[in-house]
Amino acid sequence: MNSHDFLRIQSGLSIQDFKTLEPILLDFNRFLTLRTFVGGYTLSQKDKTLWSNLRMNKVALGLIRRSAFLNVTRWFTYLETTCPEVQDEVKVRQNEAKTTTAQASQSASRYNMQLQDTENGVVTRFPPEPSGYLHIGHAKAAFLNDYFAHDAFKGSLILRFDDTNPKKEKQEYEDSIVEDLGLLGIKSQRITYTSDYFEQLYQLCQKLISDGNAYADDTDPEIQKKDRYNRLPSARRDRPASESLAIFKEMRDGTNVGKQHCIRARIVFDSDNGAMRDPIIYRFPRWEEDETPHPHHRTGWAWNIYPTYDFACPLVDSLEGVTHALRTTEYADRNEQYEWFLKALDMRHVYLWDFARINFIRTFLSKRKLSKVVDTGRVTGWDDPRMPTVRGILRRGLTVNTLREFMLKQGPSRNVVNMDWTTLWAMNKKSIDPVAPRHTAVEEKYIVPVTVIGGPDIPYGETRPKHPKNPAVGTKMIAFANKILFDQADATLFKEDEEITVMAWGNAFVRRITRSDEGVVTDVLIELYLEGNVAKTDKKVHWLAACGSELVKAELWDFDYLLSKDTLEKGDDLERFLNPVTATTTDALLDSNSATLSEGDTIQLERKGYFRVDKSINKGPGGKMVLFKIPTGTLKG
């Protein structure tokens, strides 16, 4: 196997995505038809590498175990059973994966080295298509571009709206992207639009055609696809430039003849690299039958035809002065094509830097699916805390710093991973815990009134720190009284005469527990025993004075994953795997200090966890505050 094929299969096998894997596995399968080993007659390092890549890729492994590609399955199982040493590499890589998190903070500086030629300045660009709200995957791309442009080097960042497809793009999305980058603290020096270059791109395409580097093709799209697969030239490949130019003009004018055509680059029809087999560079938008064509959100009806991403991206990068273009690894096959366009048009060279796409379990990042849950009312909007959008996760209580640190740590990895949310939330907890003020809440339903023998007849307040270890967080007032409130969940476990600790007060004996016929605790009598040792009790309970202060009403919300399975596979019906219940709410009373909290504040409710204030007391429904629970990476959270 030559090294080009080997590298292509190797990098393809590191991507856990069916669409990428299918052609790779097909090629590999064909290659193995009459072979036992990749390198010929004996086991080689190439076998080991490909075997371990396949073994580490859940999607590929599933296909192989199901014998979807017979020769690959034969090769894979033969190596597995007769050459146990192939497993070693997998073990090493699994261990590596475990330690990457630990080393990740050092890695950021390590990958600065990977950018070439930075002495002449660094200009990066983040090129979202304004066809949806930014999600956590986009955040990775945005942070990496921002990091190279502003932290690693003193360069600049371009925010480019890649608006070459009027079908999906809207002003609303464009505005939201600008706002969300603001939320992430990412500043771009320039905002540009691919659509601003439409005239220039048109002329560059004319030049390609004139130079014999592109042609107009009216081959049926299905046949085009087959020809490309079978490495056959199009029947129109050698048509004279003058003819192609005339047709290109007809395409621009949207004539009937024009509409039959697309423009294809004339690269290498039988290249080993599929991306080089005469890709389409200009075409008409393909409206579905049930779609009414609508104008481009910026250029209106000015253009009938649009450049493809493959064509527009390298040219605009070069025209705008981008020095380093960061792209996700699924474009790696197209790097050769990217460079070809710039050479063919004699344009300034741009360095490419590939990084891995990131995915998360129990959710989906496809804009189509995200729009669907919004449109069907499964969630309240793009900023719903269950959404993997930038707005959603920040509203759920993730801090921007955590998100940034997390994404930069992923930086140089080229393995497409399906991340577990727990790592991210555990990191978040570490950042909020040292600064989150402590508050107390008791649940309103089945609230337990408590009489305290030895408690003050006249309530009084005492000043206490809001955080046990961080005085900078400030102080709060705790009210003491002889009537207090417990949570039912605590009271129901008490035994008579048991010694408990009443937090921030001291020990007490439970003297009497009154229950309703249904077994619900309706009343408790305790007797203070402040000389008791708080280290010796099993139960330490939070509480609130029932009088002497204004308790704050609040709704405590908790959320679950959108999906009931880790990863949606191709062909899975989204509807079937959406969790039926993903939000629960509990009414609670909070200490009076909570009244001053404002939207966006993060607090800890003693023994209940961390919460983000979604609505302050003035903004919430019926004067109630709204708090969202912040996952911490443990339990189901």
In the complex, the smallest distance separating the C-beta of residue 239 from ligand ATP, rounded to whole angstroms, is: 33
Nearer to ligand ATP, 334 or 439 (CB): 334
- Residue 631 makes contact with ligand ATP by CB under 6 A: no
Which of 21, 50, 122, 358 touches ligand ATP by CB under 6 A? 358
β-bridge partners, 443: 588
Nearest distance in Å: CB 134, ligand ATP: 8
Q: Is residue 129 annotated as part of the catalytic site, yes or no?
A: yes
Could you tell me if 150 and 186 are in contact, meaning their C-beta atoms sit under 8 angstroms apart? no
What is the nearest approach in angstroms of ligand ATP to the Cβ of residue 359?
Answer: 6
3-state secondary structure of 563: strand
Interacting positions 126-185 with ligand ATP (CB under 6 A): 127-129, 137-138, 140-141, 162
Q: Does 12 bind ligand ATP (CB under 6 A)?
A: no
Q: Are strands 625-629 and 609-615 parallel, antiparallel or unpaired?
A: antiparallel
Catalytic residue among 167, 249, 367, 607: 367
- Give the CA distances from residue 298 to residues 197, 203, 295, in Å, rounded to whole numbers and listed in that order: 12, 20, 8
**Closest to 329 (Cα-Cα) out of 304, 305, 292, 356:** 356
The least distance separating ligand ATP from the CB of residue 140, rounded to whole angstroms, comes to 4
199 catalytic residue (yes or no): no
Of 427 and 597, which has the nearer Cβ to ligand ATP? 427
Rounded CA gap, 578 and 43, in Å?
46
Confirm whether 226 is a catalytic residue. no
Token pair 């939207």: residue: 599
Instruction: Decide: 329 and 355 in contact? Cβ < 8 Å.
Output: yes
Q: By CB under 6 A, what part of segment 295-354 binds ligand ATP?
A: 328
Q: Please, what is the minimum distance in Å from the beta carbon of residue 158 to ligand ATP?
A: 12
Which of 213, 200, 215 is closest to 303 using CA atoms? 200
User: Nearest 5°: CA angle at 597, between 593 and 602?
Assistant: 110
Residue closest to ligand ATP, measured at CB: 137
Per the CB < 8 A criterion, the answer to whether 39 and 82 are in contact is no
Binding-site size, ligand ATP (CB under 6 A): 15
Task: Please identify, using beta-carbon distances, which residue of 141 and 448 lies nearer to ligand ATP.
Answer: 141
Sign of CA pseudo-dihedral 591, 597, 600, 601:
negative
- Please tell me which residue in 55, 125, 129, 395 is annotated as part of the active site: 129
Q: Is 357 in the site for ligand ATP (CB under 6 A)?
A: yes
Instruction: Please identify, among the stretches 226-234, 364-372, 433-441, 620-628, the one whose residues bind ligand ATP according to the rule CB under 6 A.
Output: 364-372
Q: Which of 245, 361, 365, 489 binds ligand ATP (CB under 6 A)?
A: 365
Q: How far is the CB of 297 from ligand ATP (least distance, A)?
A: 15
| The only residue of 95, 203, 366, 618 in contact with ligand ATP, by rule CB under 6 A | 366
Query: CB-wise, 142 or 344, nearer to ligand ATP?
Result: 142
- Active-site choice (357, 396, 476, 629): 357
Strand boundaries in 59-132, DSSP class E: 123-126
* Secondary structure class of 336 (helix, strand, coil): helix
DSSP of 185-231, one letter per residue? T---SEEEEGGGGHHHHHHHHHHHHHTTSEEEE-S-HHHHHHHHHTT
Q: Which residues are catalytic?
A: 129, 357, 367
Interface with ligand ATP (CB under 6 A): 127-129, 137-138, 140-141, 162, 328, 357-359, 365-367
